[in-house]
Structure 1
Amino acid sequence: MLAWLRRSWRKPVFRIGLGGAAAVVAVAVGATVVAGGAVGVALQRTSTLEFCVSCHTMQKPYVEYQASPHYRNASGVRAICADCHVPHETGPKLLAKLQAVKDVWAEWRGTIDTEEKFERNRLRMAKQVWARMQANDSRECRACHLATAMDPHKQKPKAEQMTKGLANGETCISCHKGIAHHLPDMSQGARQMFSDLQATAAQTTARAGDVLYPLATMPLYVQRPDDQETPSDGRFIAATALKVLASEGDFLQVRIEGWRQQGADRMIYALQGKRIFAVALGPRALEAVQAGESMTDPDTDQVWTPATLTAWVRKGGMVADLGAIWAYGEEMYGSSCGTCHALSPTDHFLANQWIGTVNSMRDRITLDDEQVRLMQKYLQLHARDVVADASAKVH
């Protein structure tokens, strides 16, 4: 049969006849149907719950899933793995199956073949799934949960805010994380980033003219200390730009430029008109501040004065890459504030508005005071009015 097909393929249609051509077409159509059927069966079989949990690395998430409402609920409707993790349309489903080759590779390599490895990778894997669902507007969620079919009046009061979120263009996964599986340790990524920053700081050397940024609040001294017991004269707040003037022993002489607000002389702020903390001043540091020409803010009638301070800090705990610190701040913001609701863009608020917003969430997040200060500074220096001012200066 195959030999006849090869001979016939080389002949013009008028030589093999219409019957032969029809036979070739029939064979091609038949082969396509068989192949399509085989693909359909393969797609169906590899989307079953039994197939999904057949690898031993899936036993841990399977146990978590069995305790979730998607597995057991009052209505008796069960969503299996493929309902949430595999697209329902044929095209996207085929693409997802091809992309799943990386999961086979990870299984073969043993990437998550122990509980310790699984927990180490849980945040990374969760972020990948969340990003995909965010990008496709929670497509698989909406295959079952239709907003047009919901009756908010029959839902719990808390669901009202979700209805508002949908109306504002938010998507299911913005709020509904950890539904079928345990939430990862959301601070894991930030802790690793801070550890990397500390390692970088330990290797950082500075010369006159360099600009360094503290990773955390650090003491400052008006005069270079002679011993470890010398009390500090104030504090530099994390992510404050310190221009290096000199290096002597274990200390750096640095200069900071900022603004002071009338009536709040004990603080130097990063920008005029914006309460972004840069330096907390003690009595001796207050006397060492060099003041510029004062101005009155036309919007608030507050009097602001340029301020420059030269002081000494101990070496260490500082990096030259401000972008790396902001990446750390962004990670803390996302992991702390993006679990229960959609994140507000950093330019959603003005710099001074971010203070109240962050304070209102303090009792709902697990960050310590130092971390909150840095995260707040990240948000403030990426706020709407700060970004707008920077753009205006460029243009």
Structure 2
Amino acid sequence: MKKSIIFGVSLLSISLYGSEIMYSSSVKNLFETSDSTTRKGRLLPTSEVKILEKKGNRVKIEMEGYMKSGVSTAIYFVKGKRILVAGLSKSGNFDIKKISSSKDENAVEWEKVVLTAYTKNSNLTKDLDSLYSKAQELFKNNCSICHPAHPVNEFTANQWPSMFKAMVNRTAIQKQDRYLVTQYLQKHAKDMKGE
């Protein structure tokens, strides 16, 4: 009887979290196991994760993205664009499964991958639109002080990080929100309409 109760609770836990899609609202540490204390990666804001299970104050997550062939330290949102989903330590030993491989318009080889990792069960939301709204407000209210704010679709996804970095120190945008704004700008850039 005791085993069937534990099994039932485990199934309930999996069903509650097993297919839940969430988005990171801040930069979050990634760990290899549920009880590791050493950070081996970072998840960026607005990145989509699937919650696989919850264990204590950690969640086991799964995320999809693209790795440049031969480079195992960065997972990107789409191939050929530097929109970072997660940065991984060279010493990390994450579970990364290759789904497929293809080339971008510059004939660079990319691998579509699924990464499994652990992170703290905080700063995750189901509401991606609210994250984009916050980033849009921060950008609009801070980046129009010195000049009219650039339209979000004025630059490409690869141009936005350096453009934003060149100006952000003249604004009141807090350090913890800078990645959020950068992700918003990149994912709404002029070359992201079809992505």
TM-score (norm 1): 0.43
Report the 3-state secondary structure (helix = DSSP H, G, I; strand = E; otherwise coil) of the residue aligned with 1:275.
Answer: coil
C-alpha contact (below 8 Å) 2:41/2:88 kept by paired residues: yes
Q: Report the 3-state secondary structure (helix = DSSP H, G, I; strand = E; otherwise coil) of the residue aligned with 1:216.
A: coil
| C-alpha displacement of 1:284 | 5.2
Aligned mate of 2:53, from 216, 239, 246: 246
Letter paired with 1:268 = I
Query: Which residue does 2:180 correspond to in 1?
Result: 374
Superposed counterparts of 1:165-176, under 5 Å:
none
Work out the CA distance in 2 between the residues paired with 1:352 and 1:225: 36
Structure 1 unpaired stretches of 5+: 1-205, 391-395
> Which secondary structure does the structure 2 equivalent of 1:385 belong to?
coil
Say yes or no: does 1:307 pair with 2:117.
no
Q: Which residue of 2 aligns with 1:265?
A: 72
Check the 8 A contact 2:100/2:113 in 1, yes or no.
no
Which residue of 216, 222, 230 corresponds with 2:26?
216
Tell me the SS of whatever aligns to 1:254: strand
| Counterpart position of 2:156 | 350
1:386 aligns with 2:192: yes
Which structure dedicates a bigger proportion of its chain to strand? 2
- Aligned AA (1:277): L
- Distance, in Å, in 2 between the alignment partners of 1:248 and 1:302 is 39
Whether the aligned pair in 1 keeps the contact of 2:69 and 2:109 (CA below 8 Å) is: yes
More RCO (CA 8 Å, sep 6+):
2
- Match of 2:156, SS? coil
Counterpart residue type for residue 152 of structure 2: T
Shift of 1:221: 1.4
SS of aligned partner of 1:384: coil
CA shift, 1:209, in A, is 0.7
Give the distance between the partners of 2:61 and 2:95, measured in 1 at CA. Answer: 13
Counterpart of 1:330, as a letter, is Q
The corresponding residue for 1:193 is: none
**CA distance, structure 2, for counterparts of residue 360 and residue 302 of structure 1:** 28
What is the identity, as a one-letter code, of the residue corresponding to 1:222? E
Higher helix proportion (structure 1 or 2)? 1
The answer to whether the 8 A contact 1:208-1:245 is kept is: yes
CA distance in 2, matches of 1:363, 1:311: 33
Aligned to 1:122: none
| Contact 1:243/1:256 (8 A) holds in 2 | yes
Deviation at 1:347, TM superposition (A): 1.3
Q: Which amino acid aligns with 1:376?
A: T
Gaps of 5+ in 2: 1-15
| 2:58 and 2:121 in contact (8 A); partners too | yes
Give the Cα separation in 2 of the matches to 1:383 and 1:337.
Answer: 16
Shift of 1:349: 1.4
1:333 aligned partner? 139
Amino acid at match of 2:53: A
Cα RMSD of the aligned pairs, angstroms, is 1.8
The TM-score with structure 2 as length reference comes to 0.84
Q: 1:294 aligns with which of 87, 96, 101?
A: 101
C-alpha distance after superposition, 1:244-271 (max 9, x if no partner): 1112222211101001124543111111
- How many percent of aligned residue pairs carry the same amino acid? 25
Q: Distance in 1 between matches of 2:70 and 2:143?
A: 33
Give the C-alpha shift of residue 235 in structure 1: 1.2
Q: 2:35 aligns with which of 225, 229, 232?
A: 225
Q: Is the 8 A contact 1:259 1:272 kept in 2?
A: yes
Shift in Å at residue 239 of structure 1?
A: 1.4
Distance 2:76 2:158 in 1: 12
